[in-house]
A and B are shown apart, each in its own frame.
Chain A
Amino acid sequence: MNLIEMNSICKSYRNIGFETRVLKDVTLHIEEGDYISIMGPSGAGKSTLMAIMGCLSQPSSGEYLLDGEEVGQLNDRKLSRVRNEKIGFVFQAFHLLPGVTALENVILPLVYAKRPPGNIKERARELLAKVGMEHRLHHTPGQLSGGEQQRVTIARSLINDPRIILADEPTGNLDSKNGIETMKTFDNLVKEGKTIVLITHDLEVAQHAGRIVSIRDGQIASDSDHEERGSIHSL
């Protein structure tokens, strides 16, 4: 069964009378445990696709089934719950709360959780240790380097044990050493059974994933999965 099933998704913005179509009829299916990269030049619609996938934004038309649930039908409360429980976000700009310690940033999703687990702090500490940040628990984002902030973000994305990790240019703001570290973390997460969607324009990063989807002008230009299947069929 597909964990993510997007059928004919369109998204357009209306700006001073002009309609900009960012996504045009995108159909994309992702299975549980998939490791997929979405590539494309800037302005192609990658981030918009991720926003819809992460329930941060609603499509203008089309059908999006997440874990068998039609997202377009959900109200704000249920949509927020989906974001809280099923999805972990890793952003290029980190998006940590300023002035709040690493530990509290990691705990943040549980503040909004319907049934938060018991030993919240212990769990947050473990996750920070997992990304090698056990020595920086009480530092605020301003006191951390970019690589460290990204690791805190990854720990935060994992705190509520989501099935999907959506990472938008996770290495975009990092030097190559930190970038490699980050990608290693993702590689390990796949082994733990998480479904990972990477948005990137860096081919080297994209190649960590088993499947690469290219987007151009709001449409899927190529999908390595289909090509393989296609080649299998052509054989």
Chain B
Amino acid sequence: MKFFSSLGIAVKALLSHKTRTFLASLGVLIGIGSVIVMVAIGKGSQKEVMDVIAGMGENLITVNAGEMKRRGGRLRLTGNVTTLKIRDANRILEEIGEVERAAPFEEKRMTAKFGNNSAETTLAGSTADFSVIRGYSLQSGEYFSERDAKTANRVAIIGMTAVKNLFGEEDPLGQVVKVHFIPFKIIGVFEPKGVDTNGLDQDDLLLIPISTYMRRIVNQTHITRIFVQASSRKNIAKASEKIRELLRETHKLTDDRNDDFTLISQLDLEEMKLETTELFTKLIVGVAAISLLVGGIGILAVMLISVKERTREIGIRRAVGATRRDIICQFLYESLIIGFLGGGLGIVLGVGLTLGLTHWGHWTLILDPNSIWIASWACAGLGVLFGVFPAIKASKLDPMEALTIE
């Protein structure tokens, strides 16, 4: 009975000042709305990054020659290490049970020519497994045959960016491009794949057999990279450990020497990228918290004005029997309602914006149910937190003084 009557009084008071009520809840509205959208953006970008990492290859472990260090946010190889060989890749595949595939890899930026067109592209040497490990699929044509690899044939599979640069609209299949005066016959075209985590175009590529690359392009025996596919996600760590042991053994590294190679698994990449996105999330949550605080101060200001304006009303209510508690409840309910009103509208706004941006905009936003849940508690908290002070202030007024105030 008491609860409903206090609530009724609060609702009536708010209804009689509709504009003020709305303005007071506006701060909370914007705060809650932005929290929900921001969190959705954060979650969305996190998912995008994860998708890109997954797109680099399923259960991928990359073995890089030499030590790798992080510079300017990207991983770079340091030093010139010549110990990583093609046979390392073969041994990894043959001797480690948790490894599904392994492909040696070597690449170089070179100029490719077709007719009068020439364009810089990445000339890469590997095996047919490379495309499986890294998730490339053929749009047309075929992969290298075993014979191509054995005889170091001059055949190539081309990526979509290189196709556009060299051939324009023409069909590249069966054509011959020249790299370093060596002619390569195009036997396959990759499906476009987009950019990797470092923002590099994965379609600007001309893939040739590793044997061809080693013999005809660079004339060396060491390689810079081996792409390894673990048999399952949970085997990634185990496979990495075994690869390390194997390589240390084959490279005859004694215990006092560091690895002359660097292993980076899909899990490592995810962890690194998550760090970045988590920092981003913390940042936006911080900004949102500040906007919520501003919203709360809005409630505080309006409630203080309201108490001041209604001093006489408080006096009248006290005179006819309202206790301090009744007065506190009345004003607290008012600020709670303002909080919930703003919060409710804010949730509608935030969810609406999120869904709208996902539907009509080209954004990846993921609605987090937790953020809605937390937002609801936040607006209740704001209502109480910033309503308590004015409410107590109202209740402390001496009834007689409140009645006689002008």
Interface of A toward B, CB cutoff 8 Å: 47-48, 51, 54, 56-57, 76-77, 80-81, 83-85, 89, 91, 95-100, 108-109, 111-113, 116, 156, 160
Contact = CB atoms under 8 A, between A and B. Distances in A.
B382 to A, nearest CB: 27
A113 to B, nearest CB: 7
Given A56-B403, A91-B403, A111-B5, A85 B321 contact: yes
Given A51-B400, A57-B400, A91-B403, A112 B319 contact: no
Interface stretch (B59-67, B259-267, B272-280, B322-330): B322-330
Q: Is the interface of B mostly helix, strand, loop or mixed?
A: helix
Interface string B1-23: 10001000100100010000000
Contacts of A83: 318-321
A46 to B, nearest CB: 13
B323 A95 contact: no
B51 interface: no
A195 B316 CA distance: 21
Nearest to B402: A56
A167 B45 CA distance: 71
Contacts of B1: 116
A109 B399 CA distance: 15
A48 B398 CA distance: 13
Contact of A80 (B315, B316, B323, B403): B323
A77 B9 CA distance: 20
Contacts of A51: 399-400
A166 to B, nearest CB: 10
A80 B318 contact: yes
Given A56-B403, A57-B398, A112-B326, A89 B321 contact: no
A99 B317 CA distance: 14
Contacts of A100: 12
A56 B322 CA distance: 11
A118 to B, nearest CB: 13
B271 interface: no
B396 to A, nearest CB: 10
Interface residues on B, range: 20 to 34
Contacts of B326: 80, 112
Given A111-B322, A112-B320, 18 more contacts: A48-B400, A56-B400, A57-B400, A76-B323, A76-B325, A77-B323, A83-B319, A84-B320, A84-B321, A85-B321, A91-B403, A95-B319, A98-B313, A108-B316, A113-B321, A116-B1, A156-B320, A160-B321
B319 A54 contact: yes
Contacts of B321: 80-81, 83-85, 109, 112-113, 160
A19 B318 CA distance: 26
B399 A57 contact: yes
Contacts of B319: 54, 56, 83, 89, 95
A95 B16 contact: no
A99 B403 contact: no
Given A112-B321, A112-B322, A95 B5 contact: no
Q: Can you list the 10 inter-chain pairs with the closest CB atoms, starting with the nearest?
A: A84-B321, A112-B321, A109-B320, A80-B323, A51-B400, A56-B400, A56-B399, A57-B400, A112-B322, A95-B316
Nearest to B324: A76
Contact of B322 (A80, A85, A156): A80
Nearest to A84: B321
Nearest to A114: B321
Nearest to A159: B320
B312 interface: yes
15 contacts: A48-B400, A51-B399, A57-B399, A80-B323, A80-B326, A83-B319, A83-B320, A91-B403, A95-B315, A97-B316, A100-B12, A108-B320, A111-B5, A112-B322, A160-B321
Interface in B142-193: none
A190 B20 CA distance: 46
A96 B316 contact: yes
